[in-house]
Every structure is written in C-alpha cells, then in structure tokens.
Amino acid sequence: MKFIIIGLGNFGSTLGLRLVEDGHEVLGVDENLSIVNLFQDKLTHTICMDATDELAVQRLPLSDTDVVIISIGEDIGASVTTTALLKKYCSTKIISRAISPVHHTILEAMGIEDIIHPEADFADQLATRLIVDGALRALVLDKKFEIVEASLPAGLEGKTVGEAGLRERYDVSIVTILKKQERRNLLGVKV
C-alpha cells in the first residue's frame, strides 16, 4: 500500500518506519527540514513542505495514495487546515490525529470518520498493564471490553481452562492460549 504521513514527529515517524518495515511505500511530509533530512534514507520518500499551503497540498501524489495520515501533534490550527485541504483534494481515506476533545469535535464536524488519539490509547493500555496483575499487553475495545495478554498466574499452572474457573470467578473469557516454545539458535543452544 501507499501512504502519505503528514507530520513526522514521534508518532508520525514511528508509524512511517513501521509501515516501511512491513514493505509499504511511505511519503513522509514535514515542514521542518532537519526532520525531513533525518528520515530521507529511512522512509520511501520525504518532502519538506508546509501542509497548510493549498498549492503544496495539490502537488502531493494524492490520486496515487491509498491512505493519508495527518499526524500533526502540537498545532491544532495546522492540523485542521491540512485536514480541510485534504478533504477538498483527496478522495482516498484520511486518518487524522486529535490531541484534545475539542480537536476531535472539529475533525468530526469536518466529516473525518477515522480519528485517532495515540496518547490516550496508549494511556488506556498502560493503565490496564498497571492494574491487571501479570498483564503484558492490552487492547481496549470500549469501556466494557478489553483484550489482555497476561502471563499465567502460578496458582493456575497445570490446570485446564475448565478447572481454572476464570469465567465463573472473574467473568473472564479466554480467547487463545499461547504456549512457550523452546527456541534454539543455529548451533542448537537454547535461547
């Protein structure tokens, strides 16, 4: 797939690097030349431009892109202006980052359906890891449901799922069980 990421701060650059690592094409856009230079050899393409400039946005390869992600983090005005320009000239999927409830409301009013909140999402995951003993990772689905990857409590070792009685005791459903596998390197030594 082909992505354009506008805003190469911590979130945008990390997302871009991961997408490239997974074999996708990423055009990274930022108005800061030193940031663009930092990622010019790591992302597929980089451009230094002001994404609030209508002529500059028109020159982006929008028709040859699958998804545009606006990951501008600090400047709500720049984020909203960029989003408006992309809504005007882009017919592909737009994902926009919101940094506050008001910012979210504005993006929603503009018709953006896919609004992300990376800081809030990570805070939810971290809270679950801190609260749930043995939690390794968490995916918050909504206020009522989460998927949590957790290590097996010592008291449950050797018990079947039925014997553990997790549903009856804690109203927990097991989605899958990951078993530890012995891993060895090329020399046959355990790692």
Domain that holds residue 73: 2-116
Q: Count how many domains the chain has.
A: 2
How far is Cα 191 from Cα 189, in angstroms, rounded to an integer? Answer: 6
**Cα torsion through 104, 106, 112, 115, rounded to 10:** -10
Residue-wise over 19-37: b if at least 16 C-beta within 10 A, else e? bbeeeebbbbbbbeeebbe
Does residue 58 carry a pLDDT above 80?
yes
pLDDT score, position 129: 83
pLDDT score, position 147: 87
Out of 116, 145, 168, pick the residue that ends a domain: 116
Note whether 104 and 117 are within 8 A (CB). yes
Supply angle C-alpha 57, 87, 140, rounded to 5: 110
137 and 153 housed in the same domain: yes
pLDDT in tens, 81-122: 999 999 999 999 999 999 999 999 999 999 999 999 999 888
111 and 32 housed in the same domain: yes
Supply angle C-alpha 24, 30, 105, rounded to 5: 90
Structure tokens at 70: 């606006």
